[in-house]
Amino acid sequence: MSNKLSVTYLILIIAPLVFGCREPIINKNNASASSLSLHVGNEKYIIVDTKESVVTWKGSSLNGLNTQTGYVNISKGELMIENGQLMGGTVEIDMNTIEDKKHGRDNKLVNHLKDADFFEVEKFPFSTIVITRAESISGENKKVTGNLTIKGITHPVTFPAKMEVKGGIVKANGKLVIDRTKWDVRYKSAKFYDNLANQTMSDSVEFNIKILAKK
């Protein structure tokens, strides 16, 4: 038998063995990938400094002549980090801590924000942001995606953020602008009330989120 013919027979014998084993090999690789995914974001950073971790809110009239700002505290939360990258997390906001720009908590503005016209705080004392994904844009700049729950209503949100992970500490700042009417905050919205004229309030509410978390 020539060498060429021997090689041909050898290929015919080996080929079924190789292709017959292909599916088990793929399944094994999939199993390994599934196991690895369980460890994604295994570094947990806890939001421990509620003085440094705060949300600044901003609302205004539609014409921009009347603007109100203030604060609301983050009560607890955690960020999941993998190799210095944000993989997920949860931030809980205590709506009872709403303040005006001078940190006043017991006045006409703040009490109105807490009632049913706005955030109905007695019934819904907490709001939450659950981070589901974060994409790196450049350097510290991230594109964060998650689910925001206000007044028991949840909608997906995407917003820009800057994040630094260094020495067991995470510093993050994000800017989230929402259409408040999606969360049933309808007070003086042109979508639901007619003839408001200069009293019409913008449907956009801005939240600047500042977080300090430690490993």
| pLDDT tens-place string over residues 102-145 | 999 999 999 999 999 999 999 999 999 999 999 999 989 999 99
Task: Look over the chain and give the mean of its residue pLDDT values, rounded to a whole number.
Answer: 83
DSSP codes joined into one string, 127-177: EEEEEEEEEEEETTEEEEEEEEEETTEEEEEEEEEEEEEETTEEEEEEEEE
Decide if 140 contacts 163 (C-beta within 8 A): yes
Backbone angles phi, psi at 176, to 5 degrees: -120, 125
Entry pTM:
0.78
Quickly count: other Cβ atoms within 10 Å of residue 182's Cβ. Answer: 14
| CATH superfamily of this structure's domain 43-214 | Lipid/polyisoprenoid-binding, YceI-like (2.40.128.110)
Give the Cα separation of 22 and 16 in Å (integer): 10
Quote helix, strand, coil % in the chain, to nearest 5.
25, 45, 30
pLDDT tens digits, one per residue of 56-111: 999 999 988 899 999 999 999 999 999 888 999 999 999 999 999 999 999 999 99
Could you say which DSSP state residue 27 is in? Answer: H
